[in-house]
Every structure is written in C-alpha cells, then in structure tokens.
Amino acid sequence: MGAGWKRAVVTGGAGFIGSHVCERLLAEGTEVFCVDNLATGSRSNIGHLTGDRRFCFVEKDVTRPGSLDAAPAPVDLVLDLACPASPADYLRLPIETLEAGSSGTRAALDLARRDGARFLLASTSEVYGDPLEHPQHEGYWGNVNPVGPRSVYDESKRYAEALVSAYRRTHGTDTSIVRIFNTYGPRMRADDGRAVPTFIRQALAGDPVTVTGDGSQTRSLAYVDDTVDGILALAASRHPGPVNIGGTDETTVLELAERIIGLTGSASTIRFVDRPADDPGKRRPDTTKAHRLLGWRPRVDCAEGLKRTVEWFARSLTP
C-alpha cells in the first residue's frame, strides 16, 4: 500500500480506527504526528507505539486555534479522523461533534494546504441517513433528518465533505473523501454503544443481549484491517472521492446478536429494547468504485473478524 509518505499527521489518532491507521503508517516507514483530545480515544490504543521515535503523540483538541501548530514541517499526508463516531458519544458530545466537522476539519485542511500535502477526510455512511436507495452508492445524496438527534453527526460530516470539496475547488488542495461504513475489531470501547462491542460485552458477562426494535434492521460490517486498507489505498491514489469503504455481507442486527452469542458460548438471551430515533433501516455500501479505482475489496470475512474481535475483548475484559 505504501505511497512513500515521509511524515503524516493523523487527527483522532488515538481512537479505534485512528490507532490502527497510525500503526499501519509506522509499519510502512512513515513518521506519524498523532493528535487527539482523548474525548473518545485512549492512550492505551497507542501505548505500544510510543516507544517508536518516529511516533509523536500530542493531546490537543483540533477544534481549538493553534492545535496543529506543533506539527512538524513539511508533512505530505493529513488524515482527518477526529470526531466522535458512535451514537452514545455524539449524543453525549453534540456541540463538540459539530465543531469537529467544521473548525476541526478546517484546521486539518489548512495544515495540508500549508505544505501541499495529500488530505483525506474520514467521512461516514451516516451521510446517507436512513437511505431510500439500497445499496448506497456515492452518487446518492441521502435521506437525513437535519434536526433529529443524530443530525449532530450526520450534518457534521456532510458539512465537512462540503468544506473539503470547497478547498479542493478554491485552493487546489489535494483532497479526498472516504465514506466509512460500520467497522469493528480490536480497540473498540466496550461501552461505546455500537452493536458489536455491546453484544460482545453483554454476551461475555452472561447478560441479556439488547437488540433495538425487532432486530430486522441491517448492517454490513467491515473488519478494521480492511477499513484501514481502504483508507490508505484511497490516500495513495489521486482520486478526490467520495469512495465507500465497507463490508458487503449484509446481516440483520438480530442475526448479528445471535452469532455473537454463539461465538462466545454464552447463555445470554435476547432482550428487545426501543429503537433509537432515525436509526437506519438498511445499510450496505456499493463498493464498485473502491474495487474499480483502488483494487480494494474486504479480505476478512465476518466469521473470522468476529472471532478475532471476541478473542480480543475476552482478553481485555478479564480482570
């Protein structure tokens, strides 16, 4: 995948996906300047990287003026991953989420513009809202409630995409947009509210596994290694995006819960709870563009990915 980057800045680099991105860049020989305010990220995610002299971590909030002033010059890659990404987090931090997609993304764009660096925005499948087209392709404009509780995340990313596109048109900044679909794997927080870590935590504890609604809503999961492959493949290209990166094996939330109960060998039962407002009924990416432009497709199937993730949680949750 290596594009020969000498120095990269990763905002949100102590988060779930961000830490895996930092790890991969270091493995490919790139110096990494990681910035995170630890609102949802964790030092433990990057603890194994801090002994590498090519890795520098700075605890700062990218939405605050001057937060990226300490970034070494020049950088040739800026990856903007700083934003709460789970419903529990962005509903707890609504203003901060909106600021991440506005002032935070602008600060990262200004850094890329300063050095003529390649810039990549980590956007989301949430820009499609509760989609009326299925599967979702990059040309679909979405079905988003702009004043609903999820809008703080949906509209933050939609605004960020517009800002990135404006910098490309106005300043000639070398930008790209990746739309990341549901990703899972090691380093997710057990309490982050997303389905996979929630189900695994509950199943390992023998608690009822809480499925929202009747569980018929669908998701398409991608293992984190595959998502990182897609992010860095797009960054290494010159394509502006947006490009969908996500799993193509669609499953209902109820099926996912049952599969995780089976993998953990748990005696947990299913408990149905109220479904959140504006929760998407279907979610599956059309990844034709990613395969055609980047040669990318998922390599880790759901059975193997969930097995690895359950094993990691079993170790990390052990007292």
Q: Which residues are annotated as catalytic?
A: 153
Q: What string of DSSP letters covers 78-146?
A: EEE--S--SHHHHHHSHHHHHHIIIIIHHHHHHHHHHHT-EEEEEEEGGGGBS-SSSSB-TT---B--T
Q: Which parts of the chain fold into alpha helices (H)?
A: 16-27, 43-46, 87-92, 94-99, 105-115, 151-171, 195-205, 224-236, 253-264, 288-294, 302-316
Taking the CA atoms of residue 287, residue 254, residue 228 and residue 134 in that order, the dihedral angle to the nearest 10 degrees is 20
- Map residue 208 onto helix, strand or coil: coil
Cα-flanking dihedrals φ and ψ of residue 56, to 5°?
A: -130, 125
- Map residue 10 onto helix, strand or coil: strand
The burial class, CB within 10 Å (0-12 / 13-18 / 19+), for 312 is: middle
Within 13 Å and on the Cβ side, how many CA atoms surround 169?
6
- As a whole number of angstroms, the distance between CA 43 and CA 305 comes to 24
Contacts of 147 (CB under 8 A, 6+ apart): none
Query: What does DSSP assign to residue 16?
Result: H
